Structure 1
């Protein structure tokens, strides 16, 4: 399979899907802690980590293919940011595979980005069009990780984001088929986590889902930015286990 993935440990299946500014390395601390009691499944989406990009693909389809190849069942799926959006797509298509979802600072359909996030995207695009990948990477590290993160977490984010930019810019335009998110089909328990230092869009997305899900739990972390599992690994472990 083209998608780089690992299944570590034994026990109930736990899927961890990384953020759009990271890759599977963001979960290293959680994998080490949980592999004695779970089969922990991690992967790199296309254009991230060790997975190459492709002209046409579906992140949701790729994740589903990994789960099917591994024979996963009754999966607890944890998605950070864009990874949480991918989890929603897969669970909407195949709700029978999942026992529980944890969506950490995740977007969803039918919610508009706030002005601050739009401004960030515009600044990022300007830097990348000028060929300033280092500047765009610095911007990502400043804006996407909260104030409590240590230097090790910031440097890991820098490394993951820089690599993603390099791979994706080399690939050029791609077509990522997104599947619809259908909250009414997500009948398993869903935990929705947001951060006090994150963009409003992600809290708005969590609020939107809370109103439409059959079984939801809303957790707001005043200390957190967009990547709480990197910012406070020990605290974040409690959110997903």
Structure 2
């Protein structure tokens, strides 16, 4: 199965990978700006999100992304990933390092990361709400946890819609993602690792430690945004769009 996706523009490719709280619509604010900057822009929905149905058995998110790139005839691309999308971006860059020209990671997860007590507590509370058939409560928990203090009500409503849809698609899930082998030492792309100061400690720690874990990347930059929660591209869209376009331009010029 090919992931549901959008593909537009010409020039150097940029692939946008969404968080597990959202779907590919989370990149609406960045879409046109990246096209205007001269990129071919691709965004997709992981299985069980947006327009992509959930698998009825185990699947591999990184392999799904690589299959999409092959389907679209894209041999090399920059990859922007948020949260779960950032974790998957690291896997893609490990599996096929020659295909990834740059990595921009926003509040990224990391394969092999051991969750903190705070993250385990969130997972337990979400699971209890879902098992109690309280989807409204589970949605509000996610909105409250993952959006920073500057997110306005329109943004919160947007995330509610995306998260609610994901819960409904995955309600009777029998399939789930497999663990994929990810060797960070294989990653060669210049990397920007961004964290929000209001995010859970896990994601702040992952962004800070990545410069020491990507020994073959040409350059790794760590940045913490003092105003941001877990989803900065939704909280201050214009600022993050400028950050991404600047990073992609610098990475392209350095090649």
TM-score range relative to shorter protein: over 0.9
What displacement does 1:110 show? 3.1
CA contact 1:89–1:180 (8 Å) conserved in 2: yes
Find the counterpart in structure 2 of residue 193 from structure 1: 194
- Cα distance per residue 1:79-101 (max 9 Å; x no partner): 00000011111110101111100
Stretch moving more, 190-199 or 200-209: 200-209
Normalising by the residue count of structure 2, what TM-score does the alignment of the two structures yield?
Answer: 0.91
Gaps of 5+ in 1: none
Matches within 5 A, 1:1-241: 1-36=1-36, 37-55=38-56, 56-170=58-172, 172-213=173-214, 214=217, 215-241=219-245
TM-score normalised to structure 1 length: 0.96
Say if 1:91 and 1:98, in contact at 8 Å, map to a contact too. Answer: yes
Q: Distance in 1 between matches of 2:207 and 2:236?
A: 21
Aligned length: 240
Corresponding residue SS for 2:47: coil
Question: What residue ranges of structure 2 are gaps of 5+ in the alignment?
Answer: 246-255
**Secondary structure, counterpart of 1:169 in structure 2:** coil
Deviation at 1:169, TM superposition (A): 1.1
Cα RMSD after superposing both structures:
1.2
CA deviation after TM superposition for structure 1 residue 208, in Å = 2.7
Conservation of the 8 A alpha-carbon contact between 2:75 and 2:99: yes
Within 1, Cα distance between the matches of 2:104 and 2:140?
A: 28
Superimposed CA distance per residue, residues 128-183 of structure 1 (whole angstroms, 9 cap, x where no aligned partner): 0100011100111111111111111111100000000000113x231322322211
Which has the larger displacement, 40-49 or 211-220? 211-220
Offset at 1:226? 0.1
